[in-house]
């Protein structure tokens, strides 16, 4: 583990206190092995509802259930020792009322051990955020492109262009005022992200929002190149695992068919 990272587990207060400081490093994780890798380098590990698309092949995040988030949240927590774990509230588990949100958020935290929940929405979710925070549940907000509202937004388009910028800015202020400890800004113009970051008291975490945010987050599978054909503009690939894995599996298949594998080095002899 890198010696410049704190040994203790990071807290919500630690993350909130990084406003304007060293940028926050955040990635998703959905499994124990990935969590162990991420934990060495990241301040926040998000168990995102993107797991529905990344791991389960769903067409969007809308089909993700609370039970799925609990299962993957438990797996991720087994792999973390220092990174703050935040877990998404899935679609349909918090929008109805603050009471519904509290019931499901408290279950997520109790059954996974995660430190906080993340929910999507700005002004319309401010009351719910305040309700949760007042009852001991830390909340990370998420505004701009909100994938759970993909049908209303008519796709995964950049939000906050032109006159629409004021809506996003108002959402950001509402989330901050309601007591969220940080907010994700997804797929908005970088100038707007800069304005929001300067205007609100809590850290902004960008994904497709430019370099001015207080931190950055990506889906770990995207930045590792786990999917050959998925290349969103805001993702830098740091590896090409899909290509490497395909080559390895091709070689394995060829060696099995030729009889080259397993060799004696991979076999057991008769006991003496």
On whether residue 257 sits in a domain, the answer given is: no
On whether residue 271 sits in a domain, the answer given is: no
Say which range, 3-7, 172-176, 181-185, 230-234, has the weakest mean pLDDT: 3-7
On whether residue 248 sits in a domain, the answer given is: no
Indicate yes or no: pTM above 0.85. yes
Residues ≥6 apart with Cβ < 8 Å to 153: 145, 146, 159
Indicate the annotated binding residues for 3-methyl-2-oxobutanoate. 49-50, 88, 118
Average pLDDT over residues 115-134: 98
Does the structure show a pLDDT above 90 at 3? no
On whether residue 5 sits in a domain, the answer given is: no
For position 4, what pLDDT does the model report?
Answer: 52
On whether residue 7 sits in a domain, the answer given is: no
Q: What are phi and psi of 186, to 5 degrees?
A: -110, 130
Indicate the annotated binding residues for Mg(2+). 49, 88, 120
Which are the catalytic amino acids?
186
Looking at every residue in the chain, the average pLDDT score rounds to 95
**Residue-range definition of the domain harbouring residue 219:** 12-242
| Beta-bridge partners for 207 | 186
Lookup result for tokens 């993909």: 150
Specify the number of domains making up the chain: 1
Count of H helices and E strands in the chain? 11, 8
Question: pLDDT per residue over 250-268, tens digit each?
Answer: 999 999 999 999 999 999 9
Check the CA dihedral 102-108-110-116 and report its sign: negative
On whether residue 262 sits in a domain, the answer given is: no
On whether residue 256 sits in a domain, the answer given is: no
On whether residue 258 sits in a domain, the answer given is: no
For position 231, which CATH number holds? 3.20.20.60
């Amino acid at each position: 583990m890198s010696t410049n990272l704190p040994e203790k587990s990071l807290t919500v207060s630690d993350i909130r206190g990084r406003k304007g400081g060293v940028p926050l490093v955040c990635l998703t994780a959905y499994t124990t092995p990935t969590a162990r890798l991420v934990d060495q380098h990241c301040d926040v590990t998000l168990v995102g509802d993107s797991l529905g698309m990344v791991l389960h092949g769903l067409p969007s995040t809308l089909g993700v259930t609370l039970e799925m988030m609990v299962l993957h949240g438990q797996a991720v927590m087994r792999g973390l020792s220092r990174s703050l774990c935040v877990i998404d509230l899935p679609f349909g588990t918090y929008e109805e009322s603050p009471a519904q949100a509290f019931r499901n958020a408290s279950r997520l935290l109790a059954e996974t051990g995660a430190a906080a929940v993340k929910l999507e929405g700005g002004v319309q979710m401010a009351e719910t955020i305040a309700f949760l925070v007042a009852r001991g549940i830390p909340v990370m907000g998420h505004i701009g492109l909100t994938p759970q509202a993909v049908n209303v937004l008519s796709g995964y388009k950049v939000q906050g262009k032109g006159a629409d910028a004021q809506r996003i800015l108002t959402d950001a202020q509402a989330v901050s005022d309601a007591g969220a400890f940080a907010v994700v800004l997804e797929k908005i113009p970088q100038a707007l992200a800069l304005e929001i970051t300067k205007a609100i008291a809590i850290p902004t975490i960008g994904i497709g929002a430019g370099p001015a945010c207080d931190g950055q987050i990506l889906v770990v599978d995207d930045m590792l190149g786990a999917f050959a054909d998925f290349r969103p503009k805001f993702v830098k690939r740091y590896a090409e695992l899909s290509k490497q894995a395909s080559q390895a599996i091709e070689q394995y298949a060829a060696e099995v068919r030729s009889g080259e594998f397993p060799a004696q080095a991979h076999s057991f002899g008769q006991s003496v």
